[in-house]
């Protein structure tokens, strides 16, 4: 598909959705649910007084801290699990048991352990992000062609050089896939956490707008902004996937 079509088709769909939204609000004569124009006005209002940027910055800060902490732990641990069968056999059942637990279920424990503040959502984002990255990294190591590892051993390549020049380049695409999945989950989790335990961020913005006089124009604005930022984060990770160093592979 050409670049023009990739832009044109989603644009047409979005415009059709906005028109349908406007028509439905007018047909139902709703006094509460906003039209697209009212959402734009509410968004401009928040942006003008700086409130919007403060909430966006708070959410991004929490996601960035939790996600980077998870990557710092998950990537080395996934490499160890991929290279050491004993570590994989020991840790994989535990991670597979913890992974299906919804990060939202950890909210009461996070508040109990860490209180109401930034530490709780950062912990939740860490929990949401760390397991997909660990398991994806370990799976990537397991898919490396063993011929290349044997060749490195035959040439007496040191363990560090083997990791740096063979394992990491080969597994990097899988690491990026795990990071992309984790980042999407992290963005979802931070919004949910902010709705419950914080007084800043886009999740709090939505709840506060609902409670402060049924400002559904701001509720919908917050939802759209969350979606747009989520799309931007995913697009950034997709660009990273297409980088030459990530697309690297052995020539057979």
Per-residue pLDDT reduced to its tens digit, 91-120 = 999 999 998 888 888 988 888 888 878 888
d(CA 50, CA 46): 6
What is the predicted pLDDT for the residue at 61? 94
195-211 residue pLDDT tens: 876 788 898 899 888 88
**Is 250 domain-assigned?**
no
Domain that holds residue 22: 1-31
206 in Cβ contact with 195 (< 8 Å): yes
**Is 47 domain-assigned?**
yes
**Is 39 domain-assigned?**
yes
20 and 43 co-located in one domain: no
Query: Given pLDDT bands bounded at 50, 70 and 90, which one contains residue 251?
Result: very low
d(CA 129, CA 7): 31
Query: Given pLDDT bands bounded at 50, 70 and 90, which one contains residue 225?
Result: very high
87 and 17 co-located in one domain: no
> 1: which residues sit within 8 A by CB, 6+ positions away?
none
208 and 102 co-located in one domain: yes
What is the predicted pLDDT for the residue at 68? 95
What is the predicted pLDDT for the residue at 209? 86
Residue whose pair of structure tokens reads 């899988």 in the numeric block: 174
Give the number of other CB atoms < 10 A from CB of residue 109: 13
Question: Residue 200: helix, strand or coil by DSSP?
Answer: coil
Instruction: Please give the average per-residue pLDDT across 66-76, as a whole number.
Output: 94
170 and 196 co-located in one domain: yes
78 in Cβ contact with 133 (< 8 Å): yes
The pTM of the full predicted model, rounded to 2 decimals, is 0.86
15 and 75 co-located in one domain: no
d(CA 77, CA 73): 6
75 and 188 co-located in one domain: yes
Torsions phi, psi for 200 (to 5 deg): -160, 165
What is the predicted pLDDT for the residue at 250? 45
Is residue 76 predicted with pLDDT exceeding 80?
yes
């Amino acid at each position: 598909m050409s670049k023009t079509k990739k832009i044109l088709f989603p644009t047409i769909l979005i415009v059709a959705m906005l028109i349908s939204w406007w028509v439905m609000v007018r047909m139902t004569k709703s006094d509460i649910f906003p039209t697209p124009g009212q959402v734009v006005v509410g968004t401009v209002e928040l942006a003008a007084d700086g409130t919007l940027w403060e909430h966006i910055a708070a959410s991004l800060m929490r996601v960035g801290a939790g996600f980077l902490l998870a990557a710092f732990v998950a990537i080395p641990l996934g490499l160890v699990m991929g290279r050491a069968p004993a570590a994989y056999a020991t840790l994989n059942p535990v991670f597979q048991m913890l992974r299906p637990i919804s990060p939202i279920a950890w909210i009461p424990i996070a508040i109990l352990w860490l209180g109401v503040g930034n530490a709780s959502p950062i912990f939740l984002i860490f929990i949401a992000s760390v397991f997909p990255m660990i398991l994806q990294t370990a799976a990537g190591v397991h898919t490396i062609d063993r011929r290349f590892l044997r060749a490195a051993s035959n040439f007496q390549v040191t363990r560090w050089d083997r990791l740096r020049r063979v394992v990491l380049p080969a597994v990097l695409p899988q690491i990026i896939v795990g990071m992309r999945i984790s980042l999407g989950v992290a963005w979802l989790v931070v919004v949910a956490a902010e709705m419950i335990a914080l007084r800043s961020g886009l999740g709090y913005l939505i709840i506060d707008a609902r409670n402060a006089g049924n400002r559904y124009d701001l509720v919908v604005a917050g939802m759209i902004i969350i979606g747009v930022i989520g799309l931007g984060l995913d697009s950034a990770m997709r660009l990273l996937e297409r980088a030459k160093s990530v697309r690297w592979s052995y020539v057979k």
